[in-house]
């Protein structure tokens, strides 16, 4: 028996269908992870912006209270807070879905926020500062 090599056979270069499928699957997985990460980043940024809005409302309420000598527990009139030439030009909305903020009906005690987020797309605790000590 004679063993000879056939030199006329050509090796085809390229990828098989299974290899291409695996590459596409890996790429789709990486893209989905990217979208999930971007969504989490946006939620975190919206939460931070919402807390900053709550803080700004609270600072405006405290500034109005201090300048006018108003006591804690007195009725709070938001028309003295929001408006042209006042503490906050335009009443802020939650960046998550445009929800409104509920402002307290009276001037709050120290350590209590003057506003809360009415965003129904997230839990109320999610759009609240961790601590209001010193507010």
List of residues 6+ apart from 80 with CB closer than 8 A: 64, 86
pTM of the entire structure? 0.74
| Percentage with pLDDT > 90 across the chain | 60
Tell me if 88 sits within 8 A of 82, measured CB to CB: yes
98: DSSP letter: -
Q: How far apart are CA 49 and CA 95, in angstroms?
A: 7
pLDDT in tens, 79-123: 999 999 999 999 999 888 778 899 999 999 988 889 988 875 555
Q: How far apart are CA 82 and CA 11, in angstroms?
A: 77
All structural domains of the chain with their residue ranges: 31-127
Q: Does the pLDDT at position 12 exceed 90?
A: no
Closest C-alpha to 102, from 54, 66, 49:
54
Task: Report pLDDT for 125.
Answer: 60
Instruction: Count the alpha carbons within 13 Å of 64 in the hemisphere toward its beta carbon.
Output: 24
Q: Does the pLDDT at position 71 exceed 90?
A: yes
CB atoms within 10 A of CB 119: 22
């Amino acid at each position: 028996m004679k063993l000879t090599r056939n030199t006329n056979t050509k090796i085809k270069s390229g990828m098989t269908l299974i290899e291409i499928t695996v590459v596409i699957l890996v790429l789709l997985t990486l893209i989905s992870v990217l979208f999930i990460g971007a969504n989490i980043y946006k939620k975190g940024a919206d939460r931070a912006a919402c807390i900053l809005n709550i803080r700004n409302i609270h600072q405006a309420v405290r500034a109005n209270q201090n300048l006018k000598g108003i006591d804690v527990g007195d009725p709070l009139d938001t028309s003295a807070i929001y408006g042209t030439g006042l503490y906050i030009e335009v009443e802020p909305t939650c960046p998550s879905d445009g929800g409104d903020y509920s402002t307290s009906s009276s001037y709050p005690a120290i350590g209590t926020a003057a506003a809360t987020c009415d965003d129904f797309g997230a839990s109320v605790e999610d759009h609240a500062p961790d601590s209001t000590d010193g507010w």
